Amino acid sequence: MAAKIGMMDSAYFVGRGEILAWINSTLQLNLSKVEEAASGAVQCQLMDAVHPGVVPMHKVNFDAKNEYEMIQNYKVLQEVFNRLKITKHIEVSKLVKGRPLDNLEFMQWMKRYCDSINGGIINNYNPMERRDACKGGKEANKRTAPTHASKSASAAPKAQASHSTRKNDAHSANASHKTAKPATNAGGQAYDEQITELKLLVDSLEKERDFYFAKLRDIEILCQSPEIEHLPIVGVIQKILYATDDSPSIMAEAQAVLMQPQNQQQPLSPILETSEEKPKQETQKRKNISTIEVDMAASSTLSPRQRLSDISDVHYCGSPLTNC
């Protein structure tokens, strides 16, 4: 079932408030922020709630504050995943940082998985008793208990005040003060929600920024390759990358380069022309030298008969009896 939970699943559209209400009601905690579950202990107990006896709760640390302590909790969670053959990847390095977006996504997945087990119904599970076996579990239970006690203590004076017959200015002032305080708390909670939503928005924008920056960096490195850096289109791309304003002339120049014929020859620079003339001159010299060598070889390879005929001609012409 865990493998079927994709990124576009409806589980990833569950709000932060619903996730917190689900955690607090299931485990009897009083978390106010999703990132408070970054230690991994809450995730371990959620798996213990849906799979009783699978999680070694004595290895879970609810008092983990350092990263190495949190990593130990996630190791326990990973062992549980391996035992249950759950292929979900746990990004421990991101979760232990306490970033709201990463922890929210993982808790959304946890809720979707727990709801898929027995329809999300958890019977005969005592979360506070199970936390007693954990390191720091008793302290976590103590932090939870005063909250419920304060709620019951605040409910008792309200019931007595409703049945009281004496009404004076002091009582009315106290009543107005009590009614104003929840309004202030509600306003503070609303501000906290807005701050959390803004943090989530900033995190998502930072991820998107880093993604596109990496793409632009790859393009820049590719344009600096010696094989293609002399191409006109590469120069235009670099101008677009390094442009400081949205100038329309840059795009017009890019389109003009694309419209040029692909087989158009580029003009050679004077340096290239000079370098090409030198081989031509050297080739001509080699041809002249080879011609002279051929002539000398031809004269040296005459037959003996031809050489005698030449000698006889000289002798006859040099005789006093004959006239040349």
Q: Spell out the long-range contacts of 316-319 with Cβ–Cβ below 8 A and sequence spacing 24 or more.
A: none
Share of the chain above pLDDT 90, in %: 30
Domains of the chain by residue range? 2-143, 201-261, 282-324
pLDDT of residue 59: 94
- Average pLDDT over the chain reads 74
Q: Spell out the long-range contacts of 233-240 with Cβ–Cβ below 8 A and sequence spacing 24 or more.
A: 233/257, 233/258
Q: What is the pLDDT of residues 197-244, one digit of tens each?
A: 788 888 778 888 888 888 888 888 888 888 888 888 888 888 787 777
Measured between alpha carbons, how far is 307 from 303 in angstroms, rounded to an integer? 7
Higher pLDDT, 13 or 275: 13
Find, among 126, 155, 118, 101, the residue nearest to 27 by Cα: 126
Q: What is the pLDDT of residues 35-79, one digit of tens each?
A: 999 999 999 999 999 999 899 999 999 999 899 999 999 999 999
Find, among 61, 31, 67, 32, the residue nearest to 45 by Cα: 61
Measured between alpha carbons, how far is 137 from 60 in angstroms, rounded to an integer? 9
What would the DSSP string read from start to end of 83-145? Answer: HTT------HHHHTTT-HHHHHHHHHHHHHHHHHSGGG---S--HHHHHTTSBTHHHHHHHHH
The CATH number given to 201-261 is 1.20.5.1430
Region of poorest pLDDT, from 181-185, 260-264, 287-291: 181-185
pLDDT of residue 205: 84
Measured between alpha carbons, how far is 27 from 122 in angstroms, rounded to an integer? 11
Q: What is the pLDDT of residues 149-202, one digit of tens each?
A: 444 444 444 434 444 444 455 445 455 544 444 444 666 777 777 788 788 888
Find, among 107, 98, 34, the residue nearest to 77 by Cα: 107
Specify whether the CB–CB gap between 61 and 69 falls below 8 A: yes
CATH architecture under which domain 2-143 falls: Orthogonal Bundle (1.10)
Categorize the per-residue pLDDT at 95 as very low, low, confident or very high, splitting at 50, 70 and 90: very high
Specify whether the CB–CB gap between 115 and 37 falls below 8 A: no
pLDDT of residue 321: 47
pLDDT of residue 198: 86
Report the SS3 class of residue 301: coil
Q: Is the pLDDT of residue 292 over 80?
A: no
pLDDT of residue 164: 46
pLDDT of residue 200: 81
Higher pLDDT, 169 or 15: 15
pLDDT of residue 285: 59
User: Which amino acid belongs to residue 229?
Assistant: E
Measured between alpha carbons, how far is 27 from 141 in angstroms, rounded to an integer? 10
pLDDT of residue 283: 61
Q: What H or E segment, with its residue span, contains residue 180?
A: helix 169-223
Q: Spell out the long-range contacts of 213-219 with Cβ–Cβ below 8 A and sequence spacing 24 or more.
A: 216/241
From first CA to last CA, the distance across the chain in angstroms is 121
pTM of the model: 0.47
Measured between alpha carbons, how far is 40 from 66 in angstroms, rounded to an integer? 12
Measured between alpha carbons, how far is 256 from 264 in angstroms, rounded to an integer? 14
Q: What is the pLDDT of residues 114-127, one digit of tens each?
A: 998 888 888 889 99
Span 279-300, mean pLDDT?
A: 58
Report the chain's C-alpha Rg in angstroms: 45
Q: Is the pLDDT of residue 129 over 50?
A: yes
pLDDT of residue 143: 76
